[in-house]
């Protein structure tokens, strides 16, 4: 069992209640041409400079990004919160938008960067989720439902792919113990504050919301 979870580099979190989504709906991201997004059921490509990522890859046990992202994006946006100008997160890492620390071109965010719009921030977020879903999808040994995939993707965005790979959440999911996997989300509710490893209310609320999503049956 892993040590009590810490979400490294977590940005300030919003603690308002999360309302579960009953069925997948295209999220009105209004990203424009910044990055892949779902529009009228079509998969749109990235603009130059955003790589060759395509939103919609499907692997054996992954439901597909087109189906998962409308569940995960609102959850992540709620808890990350939007900040248009650079700021330092709790780990002192320059961050912008919805928790972005690396732009799609691979450049790290700096405190001297110009502000971004919410549309641009949504594009950065969608791009990073696409990268992370491609990384975690092969780790799944059982088929994930839309809600399970969305919850695990949200957790991964917050704690990182390496931490997710070694997590009890993944281990229990692959073992078919879904209740234990859901409960293991709650391990990742701590951060280092003033040198102390403590439970952070925002992280706890985020884990509770992810656990709720994970346990929600697809419509």
Known catalytic residues are 80
Q: What angle do CA 156, 157, 158 make, to 5 degrees?
A: 90
3-state helix, strand, coil in the chain (%, to 5): 40, 15, 45
CB neighbours (10 Å) of residue 188? 26
CB neighbours (10 Å) of residue 43? 15
> 206 in the Ramachandran plot: left (φ > 0), alpha (ψ -120 to 50) or beta?
alpha
* Helix or strand run (H / E) with residue 138: none
Give the 3-state DSSP-derived string for 127-156, with helices as H, strands as E and coil as C: HHHHHHHHHHHHHCCCCCCHHHHHHHHHHH
- Residue 42 has which token pair? 């079509």
- Check residue 209 and report its DSSP letter: H
Which residues does 134 contact at the CB level (< 8 Å), separation at least 6?
Answer: 57
Q: 3-class SS at 64?
A: coil
């Amino acid at each position: 069992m892993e040590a009590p979870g810490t979400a490294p580099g977590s940005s300030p979190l919003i603690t308002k209640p999360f309302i579960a989504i009953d069925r997948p709906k295209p999220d009105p991201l209004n990203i424009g041409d910044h990055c892949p997004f779902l529009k009228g059921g079509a998969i749109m490509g990235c603009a130059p400079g955003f790589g060759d990522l395509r939103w919609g890859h499907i692997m054996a046990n992954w439901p597909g990004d087109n189906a998962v992202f409308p569940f995960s994006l609102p959850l992540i946006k709620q808890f990350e919160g939007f900040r248009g100008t650079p700021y330092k997160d709790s780990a002192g890492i320059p961050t912008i938008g919805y928790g972005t620390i690396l732009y799609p071109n691979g450049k790290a965010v700096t405190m001297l960067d110009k502000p971004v719009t919410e549309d641009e921030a949504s594009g950065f977020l969608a791009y990073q989720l696409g990268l992370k879903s491609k990384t975690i999808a092969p780790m799944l040994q059982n088929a994930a439902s839309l809600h399970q995939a969305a919850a695990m993707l949200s957790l991964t965005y917050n704690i990182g792919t390496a931490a997710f790979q070694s997590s009890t959440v993944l281990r229990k999911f692959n073992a078919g113990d879904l209740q234990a996997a859901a409960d293991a989300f709650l391990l990742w509710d701590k951060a280092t504050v003033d040198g102390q490893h403590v439970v952070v209310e925002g992280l706890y609320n985020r884990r509770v919301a992810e656990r709720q999503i994970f346990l929600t049956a697809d419509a």
